[in-house]
């Protein structure tokens, strides 16, 4: 896998994903015994906030002997234009072409976090910022959550499923939409679905009819080794589920129309994931990528006896695996 970008789990075969998970498991059990990134450095470029990703990427790079260089775009460094050929006479002060090529000269990989703009669906589906980094960089780009994907999170989720179920293949998973005070991107849900199905899980996505996942993602999931099914009834998804993952995302039906979207979203507040819903599963354990709006998306009682801290810890281990396979 050396030298490849890590943009989406779809870019890797099931065998490659399994190899990464096995390596992550070794790091978790045995710790780090070598310094495969000695003398190497990784830029961590954030266009949006982060707690887990920032912390665990800095720790993973350092533990492997490398040097992380973290920057917040627009405060630490310059704002970024991503459209090739743009006449840069407005607010954006540096082109991704230049940022990516300059960083490529001085670091060995570039991690990028750039959330969806939530204004134009077509544009977000094109994943414009991370795509611009891929287009222009001369070193591997690591996706720290883009408009469309959050593969590091999805790998941690997969690792947690394998830890608890012994495997991912054939495991019955419910991915259920949850309410939230704000419209959020679909990236986490997309990547969860893609990684789980690629590793053979049988995923049912439960969401109100106005909250589909992007068609392209559903098609990719359908082509994976596992299976994907869509329902608008939570109970339908939860029956028999061994794993539940809750996540909020904004309505694709009224994308870019925030007032309308907020009203639609508000009408599904009862989709909060609580103990009554958990009781409908086959004794499932609960996943959430965090941060979570407690008692809005998910009830305290569910979170407090869930697998979310194992899941967060596993970010560290899968990232060590990805860094060492791609960069060492």
HSE-up (13 A, CA, CB side) for residue 207: 26
Does the protein bind a second copy through residue 33 (CB under 8 A)?
A: no
**Residue 99 or residue 264: which is nearer to a second copy going by CB?**
99
Does the protein bind a second copy through residue 34 (CB under 8 A)?
A: no
HSE-up (13 A, CA, CB side) for residue 270: 4
C-alpha to C-alpha distances, 20 to 182, 238, 240, 301, 324, nearest whole angstrom: 34, 29, 28, 33, 9
Separation of alpha carbons 116 and 114, rounded Å: 7
> Which of 5, 52, 150, 172 lies at the binding interface for a second copy (CB under 8 A)?
52
User: 238 and 244 in contact (C-beta within 8 Å)?
Assistant: yes
Does the protein bind a second copy through residue 219 (CB under 8 A)?
A: no
User: 320 and 326 in contact (C-beta within 8 Å)?
Assistant: no
> Which of 5, 82, 97, 277 lies at the binding interface for a second copy (CB under 8 A)?
97
> Which of 101, 232, 236, 253 lies at the binding interface for a second copy (CB under 8 A)?
101
- The piece of 16-24, 48-56, 163-171, 244-252 that touches a second copy (CB under 8 A) is 48-56
To a second copy, the closest distance from the beta carbon of 66 in angstroms equals 10
Q: Does residue 66 have a cis bond before it (omega within 30 degrees)? A: no
To a second copy, the closest distance from the beta carbon of 271 in angstroms equals 14
HSE-up (13 A, CA, CB side) for residue 183: 22
Does the protein bind a second copy through residue 215 (CB under 8 A)?
A: no
Token reading at 168: 């991912």
Q: Terminal CA-to-CA distance of the chain, rounded, Å?
A: 10
Does the protein bind a second copy through residue 293 (CB under 8 A)?
A: yes
> Which of 22, 38, 98, 120 lies at the binding interface for a second copy (CB under 8 A)?
98
Q: What is the CA radius of gyration of the chain?
A: 19
> Which of 10, 56, 248, 251 lies at the binding interface for a second copy (CB under 8 A)?
56
Tally Cβ neighbours within 10 Å of residue 168.
Answer: 27
- The piece of 3-11, 86-94, 121-129, 278-286 that touches a second copy (CB under 8 A) is 86-94
Does the protein bind a second copy through residue 29 (CB under 8 A)?
A: no
To a second copy, the closest distance from the beta carbon of 16 in angstroms equals 25
Size of site (CB under 8 A) for a second copy: 58
Nearest to 174 by CA among 125, 258, 241, 113: 241
Using CB under 8 A, list all residues that contact a second copy. Answer: 41, 43, 46, 49-52, 54-56, 58-59, 62-63, 67, 69, 71-72, 74-78, 81, 85-90, 93-95, 97-99, 101-107, 181, 290-296, 300, 303, 308-309, 312-313, 316
């Amino acid at each position: 896998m050396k030298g490849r970008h890590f943009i989406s789990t779809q870019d890797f075969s099931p065998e490659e994903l399994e190899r990464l998970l096995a390596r992550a498991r070794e790091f978790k059990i045995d710790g780090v015994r070598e310094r495969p990134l000695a003398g190497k450095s990784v830029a961590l470029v954030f266009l949006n906030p982060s707690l887990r990703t920032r912390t665990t990427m800095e720790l993973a790079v350092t533990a492997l002997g490398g040097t992380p260089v973290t920057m917040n775009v627009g405060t630490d460094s310059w704002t970024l234009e991503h459209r090739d050929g743009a006449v840069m006479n407005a607010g954006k002060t540096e082109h991704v072409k230049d940022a990516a090529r300059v960083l490529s000269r001085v670091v060995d990989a570039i991690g990028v976090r750039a959330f969806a703009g939530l204004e134009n669906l077509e544009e977000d589906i094109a994943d414009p910022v991370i795509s611009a980094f891929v287009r222009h960089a001369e070193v591997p780009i690591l996706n720290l959550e883009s408009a469309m994907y959050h593969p590091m999170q999805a790998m941690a989720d997969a690792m947690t499923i394998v830890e608890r179920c012994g495997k991912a293949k054939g495991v019955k998973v419910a991915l259920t939409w949850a309410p939230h005070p704000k419209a959020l991107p679909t990236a986490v849900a997309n990547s969860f679905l893609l990684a789980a199905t690629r590793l053979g899980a049988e995923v049912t996505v439960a969401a109100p009819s106005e909250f589909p996942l992007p068609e392209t993602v559903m098609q990719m999931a359908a082509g994976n080794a596992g299976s994907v099914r869509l329902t608008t009834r939570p109970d339908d998804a939860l029956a028999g589920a061994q794993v539940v993952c809750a996540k909020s995302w904004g309505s694709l039906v009224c994308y870019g129309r925030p007032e309308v979207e907020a009203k639609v979203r508000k009408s599904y507040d009862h989709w909060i994931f609580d103990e009554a819903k958990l009781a409908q599963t086959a004794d499932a354990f609960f996943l959430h990528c965090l941060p979570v709006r407690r008692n809005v998306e998910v009830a305290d009682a569910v979170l407090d006896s869930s697998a979310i801290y194992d899941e967060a810890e596993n970010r560290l281990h899968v990232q060590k695996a990805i860094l060492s396979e791609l960069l060492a």
